Amino acid sequence: DQQVKQNSPSLSVQEGRISILNCDYTNSMFDYFLWYKKYPAEGPTFLISISSIKDKNEDGRFTVFLNKSAKHLSLHIVPSQPGDSAVYFCAASDVSGNFNKFYFGSGTKLNVKP
Amino acid sequence: GAGVSQSPSNKVTEKGKDVELRCDPISGHTALYWYRQRLGQGLEFLIYFQGNSAPDKSGLPSDRFSAERTGESVSTLTIQRTQQEDSAVYLCASSLVGTKYNEQFFGPGTRLTVL
């Protein structure tokens, strides 16, 4: 039973346009969310995070939005660049966790076309 | 400095054999995690080590799976009597301390194929 879901396995976007990656979760106790980026043959690397006390966090071209009532978060990349082509995972942790136990989605493969 | 390393990068084994996967965390990181990613699925938590505390084994799928860590260094994940459903990429991660706000650094993973 997946508590974190990424329903789009892939997304293709033109260079310079916005990429929007979506993630839904079922556990209302989740209070901390992250996005990881993964290139082939490499481990995931941390991209951006958001705490449940916020609804938006921005870091350069990357912005994460959190809608707690809808149990939905999204990652916006503007403008998208070919180097952004990778698999993106969202992850969530609940309030009871006093360590870094995260629940991961299945990932969305982003392809940014030049 | 060096990141998290894992070996082997690929392992093909026959059903019923035992396998050992190795993880070298970043030096000084007290927390170490093992995850599994099956094809088309997300990362699945397996086990967590924090310093000298008893590990959290709540994610291990069966008693065929075990893991050890010596102090704050190398960890090995052992799968006994492998089954085809064990085929997956096994990822190791470490973090400075094991709180949720500490970034986890992942290794490149070991791709296990059980024939």
Partners of residue A103 in chain B, C-beta under 8 Å: 42, 45
The pLDDT-based confidence of A71 (bands split at 50, 70, 90) is: very high
Find out whether A93 and B100 touch, Cβ atoms under 8 Å.
yes
The pLDDT-based confidence of B60 (bands split at 50, 70, 90) is: very high
| CA–CA dist A30, A53 (Å, integer) | 11
- Give chain B's length: 115
What would you report as the CA-atom Rg of chain B, rounded to the nearest whole angstrom? 13
Q: Which residues of A touch B (CB under 8 A)?
A: 2, 4, 6, 9, 32, 36, 41-46, 89, 91, 93, 97-107
Partners of residue A100 in chain B, C-beta under 8 Å: 31, 33, 48, 95, 98-100, 102, 104
Predicted pLDDT of residue B51: 83
Q: B69: buried, middle or exposed (CB in 10 Å: 19+, 13-18, 0-12)?
A: buried
Tokens (6 digits) for B112: 């296990």
Provide mean pLDDT across the span A59-63: 97
Residue A25: strand, helix, or coil: strand
Helices (H), A1-114: none
| CA–CA dist B41, A20 (Å, integer) | 20
Output DSSP code: residue B55: P
| CA–CA dist B43, B63 (Å, integer) | 20
Tokens (6 digits) for B94: 């470490």
Predicted pLDDT of residue A50: 94
CB contacts < 8 A (A, B): 68
